[in-house]
Structure 1
Amino acid sequence: MNIASTIVTFIFVFGVLVIFHEFGHFYFAKKSGILVREFSVGMGPKIFSRQKNGTTYTIRWLPLGGYVRMAGWGEDENTLPAGSNVGLVLKDEKVQRINLSDKIQLTDALPLEVTNADLEKDLKISGFVYGQGEQVFTYPVAHDATIIEQDGTEIRIAPIDVQMQSAKVWQRILVNFAGPLNNFILSLVLFIALVFIQGGVQVTNTNLVGEIQANSAAEVAGLKENDAITAIDGTKITDWQDLTAIVSQSPDTPLQLTVQRNGQTQEVTLIPEPVEQDGVVVGKMGVAAPLKTDLTSKLSGGFHLFIDNSLAIFKVLGSLLTDFSLDKLGGPVMMFQYSSQAAQSGFTTILALMAILSVNLGIMNLLPIPALDGGKIVLNVIEGIRGKPLSPEKEGIVTLIGFVFMFGLMILVTFNDISRYFMK
C-alpha cells in the first residue's frame, strides 16, 4: 500500500509540475503566432488524440509529465526524406494530408514515393506515383496541411512563417521564460493555499500560546489559548524561539512556567513529552503558535513562504560554487523518496512538497546552461544584441555541450541519490 501511494503521489506531483511548466510555453507560443504542433499529457505510445486550432492534443500511456512540440523548436522535425512512401490526400489540387503511417489506411490517398519535399518554404512535394511509370509528379502543399506520423498521430506541417525562429526575439524570450514563470505562479498559489489550509499565518515574535493539542503536556499543565508565557524557570521568554529552545532541550523534565492570563500572573508546572526527532529525543509541549487569520495576512504569508523558499534555493546554488557536493542536488530518485514521505503524511504535505519543487524547477530551468530555458534565453539575448542569430552549426554545438553536461550531471545525481536512499 505504501509503494502504491508513493507511486501515485510521485506521478501526481511530477505530472502537475511538468504540465504546468509546458503549458506556459504553450500559451505564450500561441500568443506569439508560433505553431504548437502537439501538446501531450504523458509520454510514450498514444492513447488518444484530437486536433483543435492547429494543435494536436494527445494523451499517452506513460503518466510521467508531458511536453509541447513547437514548430522549429528543439527536436521538432518537419522533413520527408527521399524514398519515403506516403499517401497524399488532395483537395482543390493541393495536398491536405500526408500519411506516413502503416497503421492508418486512407482509401482516397494517392500513393507516392518521395523524391523531394519542402514543407517549410516552397510547400511542394515531388515523387513517383505508383502505377504511373518513372515520371516525377509535383504537388503544392496547403499551408495548413497535416501529416500523419508513423505512430498514427496527425499534426500540422510547420511552414517557416509559423516556426519559432520567425517570431520576434522578445517573443521567443517570453516563450522560453514562460515555463519557469508558470512554475513560480503554481508555487505561489500552492503556498497561499497552504496558509489558508493552516488557518492563517503563524506569529512567532510573541510569547502568546495558540491552539492547545488534546491530551498534550500543555493541556495537562492547564495552559489555555492566548496565555502569555513570560518566563521558564526564571529565564525570560519573549518569543517562540526562546520558548521552543528551552522546551525541546527538556524532555520529561518539570519546568516552572510563569504565565499571564487575563491580567493575572500564575505559576504552572509543565513536563514536556519526550519525542524522537531525527534520532534525538526532544521535548514537546503540544501547543501551536497563534495565527493571524485576516485575508491580507494569509495572502502575504503565502508570498513570504514563496520568497523564503526561493532565497533558500539561491543559497544552495551559491554554496555549490564554493563547496560543491552532489548531496546538495537531487533528481527523480530524491523526488520519489520525498513523495514517499509526503504520501505518508497526508495531502497537505503533498501540496507543500509540490510548492517547494515547483519553485525549484522554475529557478533551475532559468540557469544559463544550454539546453535549459535559461540557456535558450541567453542565446535569444545574444541574437538581440548582435542583430542576427548564431549560425545553426554553432548553436547546435553549444546546445549539444549543454545537453551532455546536463545528462552527465543527471547520471551522477541519480547514482548518488540511489546510494543515499537505497544503499545505506
Structure 2
Amino acid sequence: MQSVLAIILVLGVLIFFHELGHFLVARLFKIGVPVFALGFGPKLFGFQYGDTEYRLCAVPLGGYVKLAGESAQDELGEGIPPESSFSLRPPWQRILVVAAGPVFNFVLAVVIYWGLFWAHGQQELLPVVGQVLEDSPAQAADLRDGDMVLSVNGQDIRYWSELAERIQQSEGQTMLLTVQRENRVVDVSAQPRVEVRQNLFGEDIKVAMLGITASGQTQSIALGPGTALIAGAEQTWTIVVLTVQGIIKLIERIIPADNIGGPILIAQLVSEQASEGLTNLLALTALISINLGLLNLLPIPVLDGGHILFYTIETITGKPLNPRMQEIAYKIGIAFLIALMTFAVFNDIHRFFK
C-alpha cells in the first residue's frame, strides 16, 4: 500500500508541476485556459474556479492544460474573447507557453535538491584508503589500508574526488603523496598505471590508476539556503548533461537499447526508494523530473519539443507550417512514441523476469 501511494504521489507531483508551467505562463500572457487536468480519461472529480475547470481524471499517467483556441480550427466558445486565443498569439509567446512545462520539471528538481542539501548538507567522501589492490602501484608504493591522503605534489587534498582528479591529471607520472598513517605523517612516492577501462557509457577510455578504493568514510558539509540553492542547481545541471550524453550514446548505439526503461521500471524504482526513506524518494523524484523535462523537449511532434520546433519554423519563415504536413508529422510522432513505449515496456517485463 505504501509503494502504491508513493508511486501515485510521485507521478502526481511530476505531472502537476509540468502542467503548472504551461498554465502559469499561459495566464501570464492572458491566454484562456478552460481546463487544467491531472490524468486522462473519465473525470473523477472537478470544480470550476474563475474561467478554468480543474479536473482529476481516472488514468494517472499524464495530464493536460487545454488552451483557448489551441489550434486555428478550434472554436473559442461562448464568452471567450478572441484576444485570449493561443493560436492568435505570436510564435515567441507560444514557444514560452509550451517550453514552460519542461522548464518547470527542471525547476522542481532544483527545488528538491535545494531542500535536501539545506536539510542534510552535502556528503563528501574522505580521502581515506579502504583497500589497496594486489599487484597495484599503490601496493608497490607501500600505501596501506587506513591511510588518509593529505596532499598530492604539495596540493592539499580534502575529499576523495580531489584525489581521484589528481590521479587522472598525473597521466601516469610519479606522484608524491603525503599521508597520515595512524599518529604520524609520511611521504609516499607512487606512479599510477595507465589502463583501458570502460566509462559510464561503456566506452573504452585510458585512465590512470593507483589501485586503491575509498573506505566509505564521509563528511557532511552544512550548507546555508544560498549555497544549498547553488548546489541544487549544479546537481540538476550535472544530471541534465549526463542524461543528454546518455541519449546521444543510445542514438549512436554505444549504450544498448535494452537499457531503456518504461513505467514498470519507474514504479519499481519508486517502490524501492520509498522503502529506503523520504530522502531517497525525493532524490529519485528529482531525477525522474529531469528525465521527464528532457524527454518532452525532444523535437518529436506531439511532444513539447515538437511544438517548439513548429513555432520556431513559423518564426523563421513568417508563416505556420502547412496543416497537412503538421498532421503527417503528428501521426509519425504518435507512432514513434507508441513504438518507444511498447519497446520500453517489453524491456521492463524482460528485466523483471530475468
- Normalising by structure 2, report the TM-score: 0.73
Shift of 1:77: 8.9
Distance 1:77 1:41 in 2: 25
Distance 2:101 2:281 in 1: 22
More helix by share: 2
Pair 1:29-2:13 in alignment: no
Q: Which residue is 1:337 aligned to?
A: 268
After superposition, where does 1:105-116 map in structure 2 within 5 Å? none
Distance 1:388 1:374 in 2: 19
User: Which of 63, 69, 73 is matched with 2:70 structurally?
Assistant: 73
Q: Which residue is 2:191 aligned to?
A: none
Q: Which structure 2 segments of 5+ residues have no match?
A: 131-142, 152-158, 165-178, 187-212
User: Which of 258, 262, 265 is matched with 2:184 structurally?
Assistant: 265
Distance 1:64 1:179 in 2: 16
Inter-CA distance 284–316: structure 2 relative to 1 (3 Å threshold): closer
Q: Which residue is 1:191 aligned to?
A: 113
SS for the counterpart of 1:178 is helix
Pair 1:313-2:225 in alignment: no
SS for the counterpart of 2:301 is coil
Q: Which residue is 1:411 aligned to?
A: 342
Shift of 1:285: 5.5
Q: Which residue is 2:144 aligned to?
A: 232
Shift of 1:159: 6.5
Distance 1:339 1:236 in 2: 37
Distance 2:62 2:306 in 1: 22
Pair 1:39-2:27 in alignment: no
Distance 1:38 1:394 in 2: 28
Distance 1:188 1:21 in 2: 14
Percent of pairs identical after alignment?
36
Q: Deviations over 1:40-89 (max 9, x none)?
A: 23333223322222111123344444321123337x995xxxxxxxxxxx
Shift of 1:329: 2.0
SS for the counterpart of 2:87 is helix
Q: Deviations over 1:92-131 (max 9, x none)?
A: xxxxxxxxxxxxxxxxxxxxxxxxxxx55xx8xxxxxxxx
Distance 1:242 1:33 in 2: 51
More strand by share: 1
After superposition, where does 1:130-279 map in structure 2 within 5 Å? 143-144=78-79, 161-198=83-120, 200-204=121-125, 207=127, 232-233=144-145, 237=149, 238=151, 239-240=159-160, 259=180, 265=184
User: Which of 217, 232, 238 is matched with 1:287 structurally?
Assistant: 217
Inter-CA distance 360–234: structure 2 relative to 1 (3 Å threshold): closer
Distance 2:229 2:221 in 1: 13
Inter-CA distance 343–202: structure 2 relative to 1 (3 Å threshold): closer
Shift of 1:296: 4.1
Inter-CA distance 393–287: structure 2 relative to 1 (3 Å threshold): same
Shift of 1:233: 5.0
Shift of 1:413: 1.1
After superposition, where does 1:392-407 map in structure 2 within 5 Å? 392-407=323-338
User: Which of 362, 367, 380 is matched with 2:298 structurally?
Assistant: 367
Distance 1:236 1:345 in 2: 31
Q: Deviations over 1:142-198 (max 9, x none)?
A: x41xxxxxxxxxxxxx66543321111111000110000100100111111111232
Distance 1:208 1:235 in 2: 6
Inter-CA distance 259–175: structure 2 relative to 1 (3 Å threshold): same
Is the Cα–Cα contact under 8 Å of residues 118 and 222 in structure 2 kept in the other structure?
no
Is the Cα–Cα contact under 8 Å of residues 367 and 373 in structure 1 kept in the other structure?
yes
Q: Which residue is 2:286 aligned to?
A: 355
Distance 1:290 1:378 in 2: 44
Q: Which structure 1 segments of 5+ residues have no match?
A: 79-118, 124-142, 145-157, 210-216, 218-230, 245-257, 268-282
Distance 1:340 1:363 in 2: 23
Inter-CA distance 50–362: structure 2 relative to 1 (3 Å threshold): same
Q: Deviations over 1:251-309 (max 9, x none)?
A: xxxxxxx7479xx6389xxxxxxxxxxxxxxx995632242434443222222211111
Shift of 1:414: 1.1
Amino acid at match of 1:325: P
Is the Cα–Cα contact under 8 Å of residues 180 and 362 in structure 1 kept in the other structure?
yes
Please, which moves more after superposition, 348-357 or 34-43? 34-43
Shift of 1:27: 1.2
Amino acid at match of 2:349: I
* Greater relative CO, 1 or 2 (CA 8 Å, sep 6+): 2
SS for the counterpart of 2:298 is coil
Shift of 1:236: 6.8
Q: Which residue is 2:205 aligned to?
A: none
Amino acid at match of 1:240: W
Distance 1:65 1:407 in 2: 15
Shift of 1:410: 1.0
SS for the counterpart of 2:100 is helix
Distance 1:416 1:390 in 2: 36
- Normalising by structure 1, report the TM-score: 0.62
Is the Cα–Cα contact under 8 Å of residues 124 and 218 in structure 2 kept in the other structure?
no
Amino acid at match of 1:67: Y
Amino acid at match of 2:237: I
Q: Which residue is 2:170 aligned to?
A: none
Q: CA RMSD in A?
A: 3.3
- Larger of the two Rg values belongs to structure: 1
